[in-house]
Copies of this chain bind each other. A is one copy, B any other.
Amino acid sequence: MTSTTQPLEARLHALLPSHPALRTSLLPALLTSFTQIAQTLRTSQRVALAGSANHFGDDQLNVDVSCEKHIRDALEGCPSVVVASSEEDPVEVAVAHAPGAQTGEERYSVAFDPLDGSSIIAPNWTVGTIVGVWAGDTAVGVSSSQQIASLFGVYGPRTTAYMAIRLPGQDDGGVCVELGLNEDNRTWDVLREKVTLTQEPKARYFAPANLRSAAYSEPYMDLIHHFIRERYNLRYCGGLVPDLVHTFVKGHGVYVSPVTARDGPKLRRLYELLPVALLMECAGGRAVDPQDGRDVLDRVVRGTEEKGGLVCGNAEDVEMVMRTLRRG
């Protein structure tokens, strides 16, 4: 593991020498919006009421709207961003820019979930933002080779971020970078130049989403028994961002969001699955569809509201999970 205090700018220049707009405008703007979201959350004590008050919807909406606005404001400041859509407003629309702003040669489409994990905002658990960036004029109906970057903003005791970058045509590889926010001066430091899952874990972890569906899915129940019998550690907070960040930090772990006959798929492909899958692959892990075992990134997403299941994490455990689920 490499650890430095290298500023972000130098790292981005090394990774993206030929994409100046992405490197100097879009990615820094998104990271700055994560800082703003962190500050909004820190002063939104009233969401503490969201879990039990009658005003749940309103409270939640207020925070979601604030967080979405920070990201949309950031995108408006980036002339290279052509269209954007969000989980809160799932329609791709053109992004307005300042009069006279020139798009230039680089053109990007952005899809984002401003605040993932709404059920755990009230109890003050770590939550996150998910962003995907595609080269070109749309994120919908295109090959994953167009998906050039994805990011997590992570709002916990401190503010961190994960940024995956994979250049078009460079299907194998890419890099996942871990960043820490210096709040005083709003700069970002590279904490790890390359997040990499390990093959030799000190401990194994599992995160079983929608566990109660195991009541009517024998393969899922078999899988849970396997985890318990093989002494995996349970860590499941119910937020996609913190649950996957746990894997990035521990270097190992597997997340399972199953699809059963009774429960349909839960995760949005454009706003959750595709960005998550790019991050996981760039960290050396795998992200597959539990329904057919295909890599998440191999499926072209045809609409902004498509949903799917997810098995992701270190390759060995993803393969074990798929063997167990498909035996059913």
Footprint of B on A, CB under 8 Å? 1, 3, 38, 41-46, 48-49, 51-53, 120-127, 154-160, 178, 180-183, 189, 191-192, 198, 208, 211-212, 214-215, 221, 224, 227-229, 231-238, 242, 245-246, 248-251
Contacts of A248 in B (CB 8 A): 123
Say whether B51 contacts A242, CB under 8 Å: no
Q: Determine if B158 and A42 form an interchain contact, defined as CB atoms under 8 angstroms apart.
A: yes
User: Which residues of B lie under 8 Å from residue A46 when comparing CB positions?
Assistant: 191
For A245, the chain B residues whose CB sits under 8 A away are 123-124
Give chain B nearest CB distance to A302 CB in angstroms. Answer: 32
Say how far A313's CB is from chain B's closest CB, in angstroms.
14
Determine how close the nearest CB of chain B comes to the CB of A193; give it in whole angstroms.
Answer: 12
Are A45 and B180 interface neighbours, CB within 8 A? yes
Query: Of B158, B160, B214, B238, which is within 8 A of A235 by CB?
Result: B238
Question: Can you list 14 A-B contacts with CB-CB less than 8 angstroms, sorted by A residue number?
Answer: A38-B157, A46-B191, A48-B191, A120-B246, A124-B154, A124-B157, A124-B158, A127-B157, A155-B157, A211-B228, A212-B228, A212-B231, A212-B232, A237-B242
- In the bound assembly, the distance between CA atoms of A221 and B224 in angstroms comes to 11
Extra A-B contacts (15), CB below 8 Å, given A48-B192, A52-B250, A124-B154 = A1-B53, A43-B158, A45-B181, A49-B191, A51-B251, A52-B251, A123-B246, A125-B126, A125-B156, A125-B242, A156-B157, A211-B233, A211-B234, A215-B231, A235-B238
A121 with B235, Cβ < 8 A, contacts A1-B49, A48-B191, A215-B229 known: no
Docked complex Cα distance between A233 and B9 (Å): 43
Contacts of A42 in B (CB 8 A): 157-159, 183
- In the complex where A49-B1, A214-B228 touch, is A126 in contact with B156 (Cβ < 8 A)? yes
Q: Are A233 and B212 in touch, CB under 8 angstroms? A: yes
Verify B125–A44 contact, CB threshold 8 A. Answer: no
In the bound complex, CA of A242 to CA of B45 (Å):
16
Which residues of chain B are near A232, meaning CB under 8 Å? 212
Instruction: For the complex, give the distance between the alpha carbons of A125 and B253 in Å.
Output: 16
Check B3–A53 contact: CB distance below 8 A: yes
Q: State A229–B214 Cα separation when bound (angstroms).
A: 8
Closest to A127 in B: B157
Does A189 contact B237, Cβ atoms closer than 8 Å? no
Residues on the B chain within 8 Å of A1, using CB: 49, 52-53
A304 to chain B, nearest CB (A): 27
Pair A45/B125 contact, Cβ less than 8 Å = no
Give the CA-CA distance A48 to B178 in the complex, in Å. 9
